[in-house]
Amino acid sequence: MDELSVNVEELRRAAATVHGLGEQLATSPAVKFGIAPRQAGHDVLADALERLHAASRHSVSVITDGATRTADGLLRSAQGYADAERAHLETLDAIGTVPPEVP
């Protein structure tokens, strides 16, 4: 590999997309609302519904936490690449060798 090219804005857009999907899941009606388990009319069914609701909430929590961590990591990566590129350009400018294709 002779050249590495990173599109910082693409990383930032990906971070926004991942974050948005996590938020969308966390606020979806299927997650926020459900039947009250005691309305099931049978204790065994009510207990099963309570366990299902708890497991679903936990799963959504794990997914949204993962989405947040992923989005944050993408943003940190984008900023790291942008900072490194800026530092390289400043160094090249200081020694008078800024490549012509770089503004």
Predicted TM-score (pTM) of the model is 0.74
pLDDT tens digits along 5-44 = 889 999 999 999 999 999 999 888 777 777 777 777 888 8
pLDDT score, position 99: 64
Given a cut of 60, whether residue 47 has pLDDT beyond it is: yes
pLDDT tens digits along 79-98 = 999 999 899 888 888 888 76
Whole-number average pLDDT of the chain: 86
pLDDT score, position 74: 96
Given a cut of 70, whether residue 102 has pLDDT beyond it is: no
- Give the closest residue to 78 by CA, choosing from 68, 67, 86: 86
